[in-house]
Structure formats: C-alpha cells, structure tokens
Structure 1
Amino acid sequence: MKNLNLSLFTILLFTSLSSTATNQTIDSFGKAKKTLEIEVYQDHRVTLYCSADFDSKKIVTPPDGFHTDKYVKRSKKIEWEHVVPAENFGKTFVEWREGDNQCVNSKGKSFKGRKCAEKVNNEYRYMQADMFNLYPAIGAVNALRSNYNFTMLPDEKSDFGSCDMKIENRKAEPPESARGRIARTYLYMESTYSRYSMSKSQRQLMNAWDKMYPVVQWECDRAKRITALQGNMNNIVQNRCVDKKLW
C-alpha cells in the first residue's frame, strides 16, 4: 500500500509540475541561458548546428575543417540561439510593432521592437526565455543565421567549411544532424503558444524532418531536464521519446 501511495504521489507531483502548458517559470533570457549552461548542458557541451564542443567558459573547439570569414571573433564562443527566431513570435506583440509609452530612452526617444516587448510585456518575456527553443550555437553561425527561416538549399555550398550549414537569400538550411531537433522545436512552439503559427510550407517541412530524423537519447534527456526546471512539458518531444522507448 505504501508503494502504491508513493507511486501515486510521484505521478501527481510530476503532473502538477508539468500541468502548465507554457513556460511560466523563467521570464529572463539571461537566466534561461545561465540555467541551460549550468543545469542542462553541463555534461553535454555540444552545439546544435556544427556539433562543436565548448567548455564551461563557453569557449568553442570547432570541428576540423570549420571556417568562417565573417564574425570571426564570435566564432570562438558559443551563443544561445532561438531556433524559432524571436521576431517570428515577437511581431505578434503590439509593443514590438508599435512601441509603448514606457519605451522611451534616457534621451526621450521612443523605441519599439524586441527591446520594447522585453521591457513591457510579461508574456513576451516568457516566450523569449522558453528553454525548449534555445540551443547552443557557435557565435558566428548564430550571427549569420540571423532570423532566417529554414528551407532546403540543395545547390548551395556550406558557409562554414566542414559544418554543413547553408545560408542564402535570407534562408538557411541546417545540417542533417540538427534537422529533427529543429523540426520538433518549431512544432513545440506552434502547439504551445497560440501567438505563433507557421506557414503551411514551413509546417510541411518540419513535419517531414520530424519523421526523417527521429529523436535520440540526448534530445529526450534534454527535454526531461528542461521540464523539471521550467515546469511545463514538451509533448512533441516526449511523445516521440515514449514511442522510441527512450523516456
């Protein structure tokens, strides 16, 4: 009977932790990045796009053959990348598009965009800090990817030597090793936040990548850790992990 009660308590506790559909725990992008560094990636310091190692000081060891002509200084450290660009959901907030009375700098000049949404709107801050949407990336790759959406660019060459990340005409094609995680992140953000919606073509691509590049153990472990820290589940990843018996 005691074991049964303990099991029920464990289930209820986990359900309570995960009952919030969206991130309602971390509302600071800075805190989210530090939490990921210390409590999620502490034993798996590998970047999303190029599988580059990085240390506790965020110094990158790029893979053999990695090369970039731009943002060379930023190529030496990792940065935390919004896989679904902040602009994609940020522009749904009026503060991003039009500004707010509170968004005035020290010289009396009004501002809008990300800075204003972050200053004024709690909902935006939670979305921006959702750790399921944040991944480590070599700084130069993060900079050049910018806020571009993903697509297939079969005729383009890699912009980073041995790291097969292609960027052209404000579009990006990630390496195969990253596509499944990217797809499930887009699907998570759309299913979790009503403000965010993909285009039909983007959704078709993400659904295809989700099927073509299934979850692996690290993706499942990462989701478990973030759920425990952030308080909401990523049902997209969890369901795939359960199907693969990795949860």
Structure 2
Amino acid sequence: MKKYSAVFLAFIILTLSVLPALADSSRGNTTIQSFNKAKKTLEREVYYDHRQTIYCGAEFGENKQVILPTSFHAEKHIKRCKKIEWEHVVPAENFGRTFKEWRDGDSQCVDNKGKSFKGRNCASKVNLEYRYMQSDMYNLYPAIGCVNAARSNYNFTMLPSAKSTFGSCEMKIEDNKAEPPVDARGRIARTYKYMEWAYPRYKMSSQQQKLMQAWDKMYPVSQWECTRAKRIEAIQKNTNPFVEEPCKTAGLW
C-alpha cells in the first residue's frame, strides 16, 4: 500500500509541475495556424467597418488599396505604398529566432532543387507553435505597405529627431529604430505585453519592457481597440487581458 501511495504522490507532484506550462501554452493562439487565413479573417471579420492603418490612420478598401493621407510621401518601397499589408507589431523575427528551425533549418526544409533553407519559411513549414504565433491576430495590424517595409524588424523607441519619415504620417525610422505616432503607442504596448505573456519563449529586453509599461499607462484604450480585441477573442478563442481588463474598467467592452 505504501508503495502505491508513493507512486500516486509522485504522479500528483509531476502533474502539478506540468500544469503551469500547459496553462502558459494555452494563453496564446491555438485556433488559426495559417498566416493567410489570419489576414483574411482580420480584413473580413474584424476590420470590415474600421479600415484604417495603425501607424498613419490611412483608409483602405476591400481591394486593399490605400487612400494615402494628404502630404504623405515615402523615399523607398514606393510600389508597396499602394496597398495595405498586415504588420507583425512584434516582428516575426523577434520571436522566430527562438525556434531552432528558423536559426538552423531542418531536414524537412529542402526545396525542389534539393537546396536546404532556414528562417521564416522553414519554421512555418515544420513548427506548429511557430505557425500559431505568426498567425496570432492580436499581433497583426494593417499598415501601408511601404511603412511596413521601412519599419522592418526594428525595435520601437523614442528618437531624438523631430522629423517624420513619411511626411504627414508621424512615423519615424532612423538608425534601425522606429518611433510610432502617438495614436499607435498604447496599442503597440499592449500588444507587446500580450505576446510576452501569451508565449513564454518570447521575452522583451528590459529597455523594451520599461517603454511598453510607460506607453501602456500614458495612452489608454480606445473604443476601437476594445472592439477589435472583443472580435478577435470571439474568433481566436483566447483573451488579451492587457486590453480586455482596462476596456471593462472603462465601460468600453
């Protein structure tokens, strides 16, 4: 009897030790694993009545064509200014490099010419967890294509220069860093905090954590941010508490 009791006790201890990890892994997206499906779902079921880009507030139609703001201009990626693209606010590379397939490749990542590949395409092909992270709709926002291209995978910060990179759109990009317009900062902060909370493999630097904490406090939720999160929750079946809780407190949920 004592032998079985010891075995049962060991089983209970093991189960309790595993539960937190299971809880963490279920915080994020486990519903949509296709990046293309996530983009189409956002356009059709989330942004159908609020077709505005995150950084510049530019409007876009069902055909993804952008109505550029007055006095908007770009020096690079001009052709991509015509349409919206779906921006990973937390860049895919920032969490993608935590996956072995992104860094080193995999035996399954071989093209039709027999050449091995790695990076985003390999991680997407081989790793289900990566596909869920890449397709998480809380982290995807519409952006003017050339702005998305210029932002690249740069970290957000406060830049000393007062000059906008895109004319009337107050998005600044300089020295491989980006400073978003005031209207976008709160949404960006709560997205970064969500991604770190939902996916334990992703960690912000201490500098980014401090910045996002500050922006979260300085720029409160808006009605649209709350509506967006509520719609995504209904589709993706998980919550972003950094948006939902302040929305409920403000009576916007």
Say which SS state the counterpart of residue 66 (structure 1) adopts.
coil
Q: 2:201 aligns with which of 192, 195, 198?
A: 195
- Does the Cα contact within 8 Å between 1:117 and 1:124 map onto a contact in 2? yes
Aligned to 1:65: 71
In structure 2, distance between residues paired with 1:113 and 1:20: 25
What is the letter of the counterpart of residue 225 of structure 1?
Answer: R
TM-score, length of structure 1 as denominator length: 0.91
Matching residue of 2:215: 209
1:181-192 equivalences in 2 (<5 Å): 181-192=187-198
Give the corresponding residue for 2:8.
none
In 2, Cα distance between the equivalents of 1:136 and 1:145?
13
Q: Tell me, which stretches of 5 or more residues in structure 2 are unaligned?
A: 1-24
Q: Specify which of 81, 90, 114 is matched with residue 75 of structure 1.
A: 81
Give, as a single letter, the amino acid of the residue that structure 1 aligns with 2:175: N
- Pick from 167, 170, 175 the counterpart of residue 164 of structure 1: 170
Map residues 79-90 of structure 1 onto 2, 5 A cutoff.
79-90=85-96
The CA deviation at 1:20 is 4.3
Counterpart CA distance in 2 for 1:168 and 1:20 is 37
Letter matched to residue 173 of structure 2: I
Match of 2:62 among 41, 56, 66: 56
Per the alignment, in what secondary structure is the counterpart of residue 187 of structure 1?
A: helix
Q: Which of 126, 132, 136 is residue 130 of structure 1 equivalent to?
A: 136
Secondary structure of the structure 2 residue equivalent to 1:125: helix
Q: For 1:72 and 1:200, how far apart are their aligned partners in 2?
A: 35
Work out which of the residue numbers 140, 143, 147 in structure 2 matches 1:141: 147
2 CA distance for matches of 1:89 and 1:187? 13
Superposed CA offset, 1:66-105 (max 9, x none): 1112111110100000000001110000000100000011
State the Cα distance separating 1:154 from its structure 2 match.
2.6
Conserved in 2, the CA contact under 8 Å of 1:20 and 1:231? no
Aligned residue identity for 1:147: N
**Whole-Å separation in 2 of the counterparts to 1:47 and 1:155:** 23
After the TM superposition, list the runs of 4 or more consecutive aligned residues in structure 1 that deviate by more than 3 angstroms: none
Q: 1:134 is matched by which residue type in structure 2?
A: L
Out of 230, 235, 245, the position equivalent to 1:239 is: 245
Cα distance in 2 for partners of 1:107, 1:140 equals 32
- Counterpart AA for 2:231: R
The residue aligned with 1:14 is none
Match of 1:97? 103
Larger radius of gyration: 2
Q: Which runs of 5+ in 1 are unaligned?
A: 1-18
Number of residue pairs aligned between Structure 1 and Structure 2: 229
Q: Which one is further off, 67-76 or 19-28? A: 19-28
Counterpart amino acid of 1:171? K
Distance in 2, matches of 1:20 and 1:215, equals 25
Q: How far apart, in 2, do the equivalents of 1:106 and 1:58 lie? A: 32
Distance 1:244 1:84 in 2: 26
Structure 2 counterpart of 1:4: none
Identity of aligned residues (%): 69
